[in-house]
Structure 1
């Protein structure tokens, strides 16, 4: 009886696993933004696909329109394969999109057209590609630092780079002091995280001075003990 139960379990797994792991094939017939597209399957079914592991600038963000154009250039009207990873809270299929042998998510990050979505990404290859694009100032990384706002921060703040809560007098004084101290910084005076007094200072040396060693794990975040 035990052997029969095991055989039935194996048969069940064999019959259900392919359906769960099946790739989607079809033509890309729509580009919604820099990380979402519409796939038309051979059965004429339209599937909204959110690219796995990345988050592109929103349409109203700096570089948002260009990010959408980059995705369109890579995938629109092309036959692609989607390796399904998940379904998001909006009912969209989350997956890796392959145009031939090209991993579209990875290529967008390499071009500087998307951020690595660290909250959900499990691919260790993506953060180094982002660090490389940042170092080379490709795509959105060529924007002024004030315009390099992560899309998830933009959404959380209601479509703004920063929250609009009015600071107290003490907060305004602190912000003024912080801005002033950042303005007084100059490249070459500090080299290590242990010398940094704040995340803003670490970001200055990382972004403006090219001190890539501050992000030792190459995830694009300098001095993580300060910039958590």
Structure 2
């Protein structure tokens, strides 16, 4: 909600997280809620997606929420769109995913986690 109590749907830039019905989907939804719900946040955004959602980097107290989700094993660095990120973010998000994978945190505890873009493709058929 913004200062006028208008709710905005934000698509987290640079990452893709499990769908709610996917393994770890609810865990990752709670993680995002813990990081951002009922907090004052700012969004660095440059565009809308085809559904009219703002695509952006969410910051709470200067902390990059998108990056924290990746570090917690609650998202993939969305390499399909990495060229839309500044180079520093691209490198940091990629390193965060590699670290989460190596540590088997969050969704990386699963033996073969299915990326959400593949999950959605199968569900559409």
Question: Please, what TM-score do these two structures have when normalized by structure 1?
Answer: 0.50
Give the corresponding residue for 1:17. Answer: none
Gaps of 5+ in 1: 1-39, 164-228
SS class of match (2:119): helix
Structure 1 counterpart of 2:108: 141
Runs of 4+ in 1 over 4 A off after TM superposition: none
Which of residues 70, 73, 76 in structure 1 aligns to 2:31?
70
Question: Which of structures 1 and 2 has the larger relative contact order (alpha carbons within 8 angstroms, sep 6+)?
Answer: 2
* Paired position in structure 1 for 2:94: 127
Alignment partner of 2:122 out of 157, 160, 166: 157
Provide the alpha-carbon RMSD of the alignment. Answer: 1.3
Name which one, 1 or 2, has greater alpha-carbon Rg: 1
Q: Determine if contact 1:50/1:92 at 8 Å carries over to the other structure.
A: yes
Q: Secondary structure at the match of 2:45?
A: strand
Q: Which runs of 5 or more structure 2 residues have no equivalent in the other structure? A: none
Whole-Å separation in 1 of the counterparts to 2:39 and 2:115: 29
Residue deviations 1:72-127, cap 9 Å, x none? 01001000011113100100000100001110000000110111111112322111
TM-score (norm 2): 0.90
Q: Is residue 85–residue 96 contact of structure 1 (8 Å, CA) maintained in 2?
A: no
Which of 110, 114, 135 is the equivalent residue of 2:71? 110
Matched length: 119
Look up the match of 1:89.
50
Deviations 1:8-38 (CA, angstroms, capped at 9, x unpaired): xxxxxxxxxxxxxxxxxxxxxxxxxxxxxxx
Distance 2:28 2:46 in 1: 22
